[in-house]
Chains A and B, each alone.
Chain A
C-alpha cells in the first residue's frame, strides 16, 4: 500500500548521522551563512487575522497547478472532494477527478485501473520517490501539499521562487541540469523555469503573466497547506470576544469581592 522508500536501517545513514553529529558537537558546523536572501513582501488576501482566500485566484491557481506543476509535483494530502471549499460543485469535482486513474482490485483479485473519484486523494505524478528522481535527473520534486507551511515565510518564498529565474551572472558556472534562481538557497535549483507569459489560458480572461500565475498558484497552495484557515480565524474572533467579556466581568467581580479587604 505504501510505496515510500524505507531506508531507516541503512548503514550509510548511521555513518552519515555520526559524521554530522561529530561536526555538530565540535562546533565546526557551517550554517550556510553568507548572504541572506530576502523576498519581496506581497500583500496576500489571506494574511492578517481577518484574511480570507480569494476564490477566483485559488481557482486560477488550481489551473496553474494542474497544467504546469502537476507534471512533476504531487499534492497527496489533498482529496478531490476538498475542492468544494474553493467553490467547485459536485459535478465539476467528479469530472476533475475522473481525468485521473487509480489502481484497485477487481473481484478476481487482479490489479486494475479505475477512474479516480472525489473521495480519492490527488494522484501523484510518480509512483514513488525513486521513480521521480530517475525522471528528473536525480532531483526530487517535493510534494506541494504543505509547501507553504514547510518554508519560512512560505507564501512570499514560493512567489519569489517562481518568479526568480533571471540570467545568471557571467562568472557563475551553471552545471548541467541546474538552473539559476536568485531566490533559491544556493541560487542553483534543479527545477527549470515553470512559468512563462501565457503559459496557461485563464477561463476568466485574466492575463496570465508569470507574476499573476505565481500569485494564483501560491494562493491555491496556501489553502492546500491550511485548508482550515478561514474557519480557524472566524472561530478565533468569536472565542476571543467571549474571553474578553469573561475577563472583564471577572475583573469587576474581583474588584467588588476584594473591596472590603482593600478599604479596611
Chain B
C-alpha cells in the first residue's frame, strides 16, 4: 500500500491503526486507470449509484409498506397520496429498477464488445453475471409487492415454471408459495427476500470491485497497461468524467420520473390483485422480455425453463468459450459484425417477448433463440480458427505510431 501523507492529526492517528484512509487514497484517488477509456466505461459507476438509490428509496418505502394481501395495494396508494413526497420516492424506486437494468445491460454489452471477460478478468465477469442474476430475482419479487393484477399473475406464472421440474416440481412450487397458491405467505416471503437480496448484491459488488482493482479496467483497445505512461490517476480524471456521465444519466432519469413515471409500467398493475380475474395479456416487465421470449419459444415447458435459465448460465462460461486471445472487437473484424447481430437478436427477443405467442412470432422467437445459443456455443469457440485479427498496437500511449507492426500482435499472443 502506498504511503499516503495526511496532514490532519486525527486522520493520521486513525490511519496508523486502521488504514482506511490509505486504502481510499489508493483505490479511489491514485488508482491507475487506462487513459483511453471511452464513455462506455461510465456505466459501471452508474450501476453502483443506481443500486444505492434503489436501496435508499427502498428502505424509506418499506417504512410505509404493509406486506399483507388485504393492505399491500392500499398501503402503496397511501404512499402515493398521503406520505409527504411519497409519490416521488416510489416513482424513483419504480423507474429506478428500469434504469438500473438499462445501465447494467449497456455495461454487459460493453464487456462483450471489448472482451472484458477474458483472462485475467474471468472472475470479475462471473461475479458480474451473478449480480445480474440476483438483480433479476430482486426485481421480480419487488414487482409483486404492490399487489396489482400484473404482480399477482406475474408471480403465478413465474413460480409455476418450477413445476416443470420432473418428480419434485409440484412440491417445490408449494414450498416457494408457502401454500397452495400465490397468497399472503408468498407476499410476505417475497417482501423479506426483496429487502435482503439488495444487500447480498452489495456484497457481490464489493467482490466485483476487488476483482476489478486487482488488474484494473480493461480499455477500448483491449491491450494490457504497460506502465504509468498508459494510465491516469482515477481522481480527478475519471471522477469528473463519471460526474458528467451521472449528470446526463440523472437528467434522463428525472424526465422519466417526473413526466412519464408510468411509461415503463403496465396499467393493469393499478388494478388490485384478483385471483378470479385473469388479465388478457400477462407480460413481465420489459427487462425480462428477451428471457420470456426464449421461455415461450420452446414448445416444451421443461425445455423452455431450461433454455431460459441456460441463456444466463451460458454467460458464466463465456470466458472459456471465446478462444481468441485478442480482447477488443476493434481488432476482430468478423467478431465485431456478429456482436451487432447479437445485440439486434436480443432486441428482437425483447420485442417478441411482448408479442402474443402465435403465428410468425413463434417462428421468429425460435430463430432468435437459436441464434442466441449459436453465438455463444458455436461461434465463440470456432471464430478464432477462421478470423484474421488486425495487428495490435504496442501500447495504449502509442496506438497509432507502431500500430501497423504485425510483430506487436505476435508479441502479444506469445505472452499469453
Contacts and interface: CB of A to CB of B under 8 A. Distances in A.
Given A8-B69, A227-B81, A257 B248 contact: no
A105 interface: no
Interface in A228-258: 228, 232-233, 235-237, 239-240, 243-244, 246-247, 250-251, 253-254, 257-258
B250 A243 contact: yes
B276 A261 contact: no
Interface string A1-30: 010101111100110110011001101011
Contact of A254 (B157, B240, B356, B362): B240
Contact of B232 (A7, A21, A24, A261): A261
Nearest to B274: A7
Interface in A174-199: 185
A149 B244 contact: no
Contacts of B280: 31-32, 185
Interface string B236-257: 1100110110011011001101
Given A6-B70, A20-B278, A77-B81, A33 B247 contact: no
A31 B282 CA distance: 10
A258 B237 contact: yes
Contacts, number: 132
Nearest to A12: B276
Interface residues of B, number: 56
B132 interface: no
A151 B262 CA distance: 11
B80 A235 contact: no
Given A27-B358, A150-B267, A233-B259, A244 B251 contact: yes
Interface of B: 35, 69-71, 74, 77, 80-81, 87-88, 91, 156-157, 160, 179-184, 232, 236-237, 240-241, 243-244, 247-248, 250-251, 254-255, 257-259, 261-262, 267-268, 270-271, 275-276, 278, 280-282, 296, 299, 301, 304, 356-358, 362
29 contacts: A8-B183, A9-B179, A9-B181, A13-B181, A13-B275, A14-B180, A14-B181, A16-B278, A17-B181, A49-B259, A77-B77, A77-B81, A142-B271, A151-B267, A154-B267, A225-B270, A228-B87, A232-B258, A233-B259, A236-B258, A240-B251, A240-B255, A243-B250, A243-B254, A247-B248, A247-B250, A250-B247, A254-B243, A258-B237
